[in-house]
Amino acid sequence: MIAHFASYATFFLTLALADGIACLGLNLQWGWTGLFNAGVAGFYAIGAYATALLTAPAQPGLLGGGGLPFWVGWLGAAVLSAAVALAIGRPVLRLRADFLAIVTFGFAVSVQLVALNATALTGGAFGRSFLPHPFASAPATLALVAGLALLAWVGLERLVASPWGRALRAVREDEGAAAALGKNPAALRLQSFVLGAALIGLAGAIRAQFIGFVAPEDFLPVLTFRIWVMLIVGGAGNFTGALAGAVVVSALWSGSGAALTALLPPAWQVRGAAVQVVAIGVGIALLLLFRPRGLVAERVRVSRHLPPPPGSGPRRERGGDGDGRRHPRSGG
Amino acid sequence: MIAQYVADGVVSGALVGLGAIGLTLTYAVLGFANFAQGEFLTWGAYFALALLSGTGLGHAAALPPFAFGWPLLLVLPAAVALTGGLAVALDHVLFRPLRRRAGPMGLVIASFGASLALANLVVLLFGPKPRYFSRAIAFAIPVAPGVRLTADRMLVVALALLAMAALHLLLTRSRLGLAMRASAENPALAAVYGVDAEGVRRASWWIGGGMSALAGVLLGQTEQIQPLMGADLLLSLFAAAILGGIGSAGGAFVGGLVVGLAEALSVPLLGAAYRPAAAFLVLFAVLMLRPTGLFGERP
């Protein structure tokens, strides 16, 4: 019983932390830069297929099948996802937020279409299988994924505490003011978008590698929604929250799924999955209505030399340049 | 051959145009992109289906030359009204409270969730399999050299034009229409002039939901009824609304025709499998040329 539970917990945590890495990437894009990426599933898919092409053994009729070590696949996934983000980011990031959401949503739909139809590359509707496991033992894989999540978390925390992170938030809050101070909003947005996409691609690769199988139906818009729910539950703008949200939402998602599987007769299983999505849709609406900042709200801090202003929202981050003085806001 | 693709594009474009009207109106008046718009088409079709089977009228004989019986015409207005009511109800329980508490992006995320919830509610109530209003077979009639259309599909275009004409009269000849156009152009200024903002919002949802339901029923009659029928059209709807200029109902309809034609003509070029990507390419091209949309200047 305990061994059974431990093995399930390992399985669950590995997948939850993979989503957590995607959620960290989305938090950099949305929480810190205000980029509404509604195409998470597209970057996730690119990462998953990249590692499938690089690490799966050669199969007749399919391209790729490099049989390379898993870490080459993961690296390739992050690089390819970042490269795609760089290519599409340059034109689309100048769009206003809601148009960016629509275009990235369309991007993800198109990626899914390619996954479904470019059979020689992706295996079509059957997907690609036989991805090698990173390690023979599941706990070792979990340790590796947890290490990567920790690395991403610490790295992003350090990055956003740097002047670069402050400039990002400045762009998010008031682009004109940031530009007037000599920051380049377009470049900052692109950097954040590309780095976030690399993390989302890595997450897709980890998940695919761990399951050993990639198929187009894994990358429907509901995946984008799942990662967004994790971020909203955890609290946008906070990396600790993003990871915590990923674990909590994964637990709720698979917990409710398992409960429905156990309770419903087989004929009702498809409808059971529908109940789950309806419940999660309603749940997220209630959360947005009653706790819009998530479990862990964004920490409002201008500089580590300053105490956080009491009860302030993200819009109050003005003044303070690290010397312990608050400069009154001039004008406006 | 090309003429046939053009004819098919006009038919599917008319449906996209009808669906996009709600998107463009609510976008202009409420200021957010409603990702749940496609589900109004789906729900319109399923409302009609439920009414047909609920009243036992579903087995009436077809009315030649059409492949559906008179009961469908009877339940169509009811499905339109029910879907309009659904849109108003969704605004009441979700979007209106959120307007005060969350920013426009909170509304977008909420509509994303509402879209998934509504589509899956259909699966829950009606099952995942495709359904049909009638089993009658529609025969294509030659209408021009090299063009064959079924009577049903010709009716789609006729009804869509009729609905557009009615909407045009409403928007240009009535006080409500004047208030709606004023609010779409400048909500703050319209409010200053005493326009009933809440009434305009409600009317936008009624009209948007109703027009989508009409599109959904017609789509269900000419293709099939399935839980993702609206979600699959969402990108086309967005492309049409942005192409036509946010806030312009007539623009959305013309945008729908352009998107429909682009999709139909992409079939010989890219293959039917990539047809949905054509809407994305139109959308992408428009936004690259005009990053704020064709006629949009509002931030």
Task: Check CB contact under 8 Å for B108 and A105.
Answer: no
Whether A161 maps to a domain, the answer reads yes
Q: Is the peptide bond before B142 cis (omega within 30 degrees of 0)?
A: no
Mutate to test the interface with A, among B107, B108, B122 (most CBs of A within 10 A): B108
| Predicted pLDDT of residue B30 | 84
| Predicted pLDDT of residue A315 | 39
How close does chain B come to A224, measured CA to CA in Å? 10
Whether A185 maps to a domain, the answer reads yes
> A154, A151, A148: which is closest to A74 by C-alpha?
A148
Which of the 8 DSSP states describes residue A212? T
Helix (H, G, I), strand (E, B) or coil at A214: strand
- Pair B239, B60: CB distance under 8 Å: no
Measured between CA atoms, the residue of chain B closest to residue A278 is B117
Chain A hits for B101, CB-CB cut-off 8 Å, are: 288-289, 292
Task: Check CB contact under 8 Å for B277 and A113.
Answer: yes
For A90-145, the pLDDT digits (tens) are 888 988 788 899 999 999 999 999 999 988 888 888 888 888 888 888 889 999 99
- Pair B111, A228: CB distance under 8 Å: no
- Pair A19, A222: CB distance under 8 Å: no
Chain A hits for B123, CB-CB cut-off 8 Å, are: 270-271, 274
- ipTM reported for the complex, 2 dp: 0.90
State the pLDDT confidence band at A329, using cuts at 50, 70 and 90. Answer: very low
Token pair in block for residue B298: 């509002």
- Lowest average pLDDT, out of A133-137, A212-216, A269-273, A321-325, goes to A321-325
Mutate to test the interface with B, among A93, A110, A112, A290 (most CBs of B within 10 A): A110
Helix (H, G, I), strand (E, B) or coil at A128: strand
Judge whether B117 is closer than 8 Å to chain A, CB to CB.
Answer: yes
| Predicted pLDDT of residue A94 | 84
State the pLDDT confidence band at A304, using cuts at 50, 70 and 90. Answer: low
In our burial notation (b when 16+ CB lie closer than 10 A, e otherwise), range B158-171 reads: ebbeebbeebeeeb
| Predicted pLDDT of residue A300 | 61
Residue B165 pLDDT > 70: yes
> B289, B3, B4, B15: which is closest to B157 by C-alpha?
B15
| Predicted pLDDT of residue B287 | 87
Residue A321 pLDDT > 80: no
Which of the 8 DSSP states describes residue A124? G
Task: Check CB contact under 8 Å for A292 and B106.
Answer: yes
Mean pLDDT (whole number) for A181-199: 94
- Pair B28, B174: CB distance under 8 Å: no
| Cα atoms in the Cβ-side hemisphere of radius 13 Å centred on A189 | 26
- Alpha-carbon distance of B232 to B227, in angstroms, equals 10
Judge whether B289 is closer than 8 Å to chain A, CB to CB.
Answer: no
Amino acid letter, residue B86: L
First to last CA, chain B: 44
> Considering chain B, what is the average pLDDT of its residues?
88
- Alpha-carbon distance of A302 to B231, in angstroms, equals 42
Judge whether B242 is closer than 8 Å to chain A, CB to CB.
Answer: yes
Token pair in block for residue A52: 């499938």
For A158-167, the pLDDT digits (tens) are 999 999 999 9
How close does chain B come to A285, measured CA to CA in Å? 6
State the pLDDT confidence band at B230, using cuts at 50, 70 and 90. Answer: very high
The residue ranges of every structural domain in chain B are 2-289
Task: Check CB contact under 8 Å for A106 and B279.
Answer: yes
Residue A201 pLDDT > 90: yes
For A231-278, the pLDDT digits (tens) are 988 888 889 999 999 999 999 888 888 888 888 777 777 777 788 888
| Predicted pLDDT of residue B13 | 95
Nearest-by-Cβ selection for A274 from B108, B120, B280: B120
Task: Check CB contact under 8 Å for B287 and A289.
Answer: no
- Alpha-carbon distance of A264 to A251, in angstroms, equals 19
Residue A272, C-beta contacts closer than 8 angstroms, at least 6 positions apart: A260, A261, A263, A264
Mean pLDDT (whole number) for B78-107: 88
Residues B137, B140, B144, CA angle at the centre, nearest 5°? 170
Mutate to test the interface with B, among A268, A282, A288 (most CBs of B within 10 A): A288
How close does chain A come to B242, measured CA to CA in Å? 9
Domain residues for the domain of A145 are 8-219
First to last CA, chain A: 64
* Chain A residues whose C-beta sits inside 8 Å of any chain B C-beta: 36, 38, 91-92, 94-99, 101-103, 105-107, 109-110, 113, 116-117, 221-222, 224-225, 228-229, 232, 270-271, 273-275, 277-278, 280-282, 284-285, 288-289, 292
Nearest-by-Cβ selection for A103 from B35, B97, B287: B287
- Alpha-carbon distance of A276 to A259, in angstroms, equals 10
Chain B hits for A96, CB-CB cut-off 8 Å, are: 291-292, 299
Residue B242 pLDDT > 80: yes
Task: Check CB contact under 8 Å for B121 and A282.
Answer: no
State the pLDDT confidence band at A330, using cuts at 50, 70 and 90. Answer: very low
> Considering chain A, what is the average pLDDT of its residues?
85
Q: Which residue carries 């600790």 as its tokens?
A: A240
DSSP track, A220-286? SHHHHHHHHHHHHHH-TT-HHHHHHHHHHHHHHHHHHHHHHHHHS-GGGHHHHHHHHHHHHHHHHHH
Q: What is the separation of C-alpha B285 from the centre of its chain, rounded to a whole number of angstroms?
A: 22
| Predicted pLDDT of residue A303 | 59
CA distances to A106, A124, B33 from B109, rounded to whole Å, are 16, 30, 10
> A304, A224, A238: which is closest to A41 by C-alpha?
A224
Q: What share of chain A is helix, strand, coil (3-state, %, to 5)?
A: 70, 0, 25
How close does chain A come to B114, measured CA to CA in Å? 6
| Predicted pLDDT of residue A332 | 28
Token pair in block for residue B285: 């091209």
Amino acid letter, residue A242: A
How close does chain A come to B278, measured CA to CA in Å? 9
User: How many domains is chain A partitioned into structurally?
Assistant: 1
Chain A hits for B94, CB-CB cut-off 8 Å, are: 285, 289
Q: B2-289: which CATH number, 3.90.550, 3.30.70, 1.10.3470, 1.10.8?
A: 1.10.3470
- Alpha-carbon distance of B201 to B88, in angstroms, equals 9
Residue A42 pLDDT > 90: yes
| Predicted pLDDT of residue A95 | 85
- Alpha-carbon distance of B209 to B201, in angstroms, equals 12
> B233, B228, B230, B260: which is closest to B244 by C-alpha?
B260
**Higher pLDDT among residues B99 and B59, named by residue:** B99
For A291-303, the pLDDT digits (tens) are 777 766 666 655 5
Residue B299 pLDDT > 70: no
Strands (E) located in chain A:
128-129, 213-214
Chain A hits for B238, CB-CB cut-off 8 Å, are: 102, 106
| Predicted pLDDT of residue B298 | 47
Which of A284-298, B5-19, B99-113 is most confident? B5-19
- Lowest average pLDDT, out of A15-19, A127-131, B17-21, B204-208, goes to A127-131
Token pair in block for residue A20: 């957590």
How close does chain A come to B16, measured CA to CA in Å? 16
Helix/strand/coil (H/E/C) assignment for every residue in chain B = CHHHHHHHHHHHHHHHHHHHHHHHHHHHHHCCCCCCHHHHHHHHHHHHHHHHHHHCHHHCCCCCCCCCCHHHHHHHHHHHHHHHHHHHHHHHHHHHHHHHHCCHHHHHHHHHHHHHHHHHHHHHHHCCCCECCCCCCCCEEEEECCEEEEHHHHHHHHHHHHHHHHHHHHHHHCHHHHHHHHHHHCHHHHHHCCCCHHHHHHHHHHHHHHHHHHHHHHHHHHCCECCCCCHHHHHHHHHHHHHHCCCCHHHHHHHHHHHHHHHHHHHHHHCHHHHHHHHHHHHHHHHHHCCCCCCCCCC
Residue A316 pLDDT > 80: no
